[in-house]
């Protein structure tokens, strides 16, 4: 009996240690999106210049939907040139980059676009409805949509050339009418 007790107490600590070992290894920021594989929610917004812009206008293309804000430093400033570069490189191959500016001021957003020389279409989500529709919880977040309009990849944090090319090339290689 005494011998059993001597072993029981350290044994009881084992599950707790195992739980802690697991808990400290996973990042609490990695929250899987329930939207993966599902049709991307449609939206119709206006651009920074006030022109209408909708997701439906790009049906049949691979869409890179990037949520950003001018106050999101440094990640948004790091990825903007990557998005611009790849938008120029892929636009003739059935790929479109669309920016969605969230929780931002018009002047600050205009300055961001001007300073970084962005030419891809950018919409403003003034009421936050599109952000919530996509389950966005911070910036930058980027969604890669396949030609069928399904959300296939969600990337949290700045997009790099490697991530952009690998993901878009994979989605382009899939069968589907361009």
Partner 1 sequence: MSRARVRFAASLLLLGATVSALTAQPAKPVSEEIVHEVAAQLRCVVCQNLSVADSPSEMASQMRAIIRERLAAGESPADVQRYFVDRYGEWILLAPPRRGFNLLVWLLPFVAVGVGLAITAALVWRWTRRRRGVRPPPPAVDPAMSERIRREVQSGR
The binding site for partner 1 (CB under 8 A) comprises 31-35, 103, 127-129, 131-138
Shortest separation between residue 137's beta carbon and partner 1, angstroms: 4
Judged by beta carbon, residue 13 or residue 175, the one nearer partner 1 is 13
Q: How far is the CB of 31 from partner 1 (least distance, A)?
A: 5
Sheet holding 44-47, edge to edge: 52-54, 44-47, 122-125, 95-102, 62-68, 141-145, 151-156
Decide: 126 and 47 in contact? Cβ < 8 Å: no
Nearest C-alpha neighbor of 42 from the set 119, 123, 159? 123
Question: 82 vs 130, which CB is nearer to partner 1?
Answer: 130
- Minimum distance, C-beta of residue 102 to partner 1, in the bound complex (Å): 8
Q: How far is the CB of 166 from partner 1 (least distance, A)?
A: 25
| Residues paired with 141 in a beta bridge | 67, 156
Alpha helices in 27-160 (DSSP H): 75-90, 106-116, 129-133
CA distance 14 to 138: 36
Between residues 72 and 168, which has the closer beta carbon with respect to partner 1?
A: 72
- To partner 1, the closest distance from the beta carbon of 46 in angstroms equals 17
In terms of CB distance, is 19 or 57 closer to partner 1? 19
How far CA 154 is from CA of 7, 25, 128, in Å, comes to 47, 21, 18
Which stretches does DSSP call E strand in 16-117?
44-47, 52-54, 62-68, 95-102
Task: State which residue, 26 or 175, has the beta carbon closest to partner 1.
Answer: 26
């Amino acid at each position: 009996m005494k011998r059993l007790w001597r072993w029981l107490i350290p044994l009881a600590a084992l599950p707790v240690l195992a739980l802690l070992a697991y808990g400290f290894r996973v990042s609490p920021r990695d929250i899987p999106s329930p939207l993966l594989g599902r049709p991307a929610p449609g939206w119709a917004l206006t651009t920074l210049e006030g022109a209408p812009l909708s997701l439906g206008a790009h049906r049949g293309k691979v869409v890179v939907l990037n949520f950003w804000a001018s106050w999101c430093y440094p990640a948004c400033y790091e990825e903007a040139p990557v998005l611009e570069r790849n938008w120029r490189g892929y636009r003739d191959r059935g790929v479109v980059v669309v920016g969605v500016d969230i929780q931002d001021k018009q002047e600050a957003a205009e300055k961001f676009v001007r300073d970084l020389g962005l030419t891809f279409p950018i919409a403003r989500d003034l009421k936050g409805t599109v952000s919530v529709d996509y389950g966005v919880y911070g910036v930058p977040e980027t969604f890669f949509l396949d030609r069928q309009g399904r959300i296939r990849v969600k990337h949290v944090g700045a997009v790099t050339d490697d991530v952009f090319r690998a993901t878009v090339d994979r989605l382009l290689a899939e069968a589907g009418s361009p």
